Structure 1
Amino acid sequence: MKKGIHPDNYRPVAFKDMSNEEVFISRSTINTKETIEIDGVTYPLVKLEITSSSHPFYTGKQTLVDTAGRVDKFMNRYAKRMDKNKK
């Protein structure tokens, strides 16, 4: 390999599939503000909407990932709190 062209900050990073809550660890240079503790070790956390563990092509199941529905559920759940804060 050529020297000086590859990043020096490779480190273990946790990637979390938000559709099925599966977490896997891989080495990466991605920057993130969130962390997660796994087996007593703290890793930077990257949240993903879909991975090979939830993608229909790899799983053989036709499941619908409804990200817009999640936002609607959140807004409905916390609408009362938002109204109280505005008053």
Structure 2
Amino acid sequence: SLTAKRKNFKANLSVLLFFVWFFQGTLKGFDQTINLILDESHERVFSSSQGVEQVVLGLYIVRGDNVAVIGEIDEETDSALDLGNIRAEPLNSVVH
């Protein structure tokens, strides 16, 4: 059943919110409006002058109407990233 699949579903995700926050964490639960429960989560803050900063958040609830994009993380590729040397302009807010 769908309920049983939801209980056993666990994935490491990237989540981009409309107001330009970029989260990563382990999906622990969700509902029909895409509200998400992320565990072991952190925000990645991008800057053009320094490496990517990771802000530890722990258990975090994300409201579904703020979610712009969700994607599953390839853990091998993600762990190989040298975040201290990655520079990027911060993203602009999403305009509706």
Q: Which has the larger radius of gyration?
A: 1
Which one has a larger percent strand, Structure 1 or Structure 2? Answer: 2
The TM-score with structure 2 as length reference comes to 0.24
Higher relative contact order, chain-length normalized (CA < 8 Å, sep 6+): 2
Which one has a larger percent helix, Structure 1 or Structure 2? Answer: 1
The TM-score with structure 1 as length reference comes to 0.25
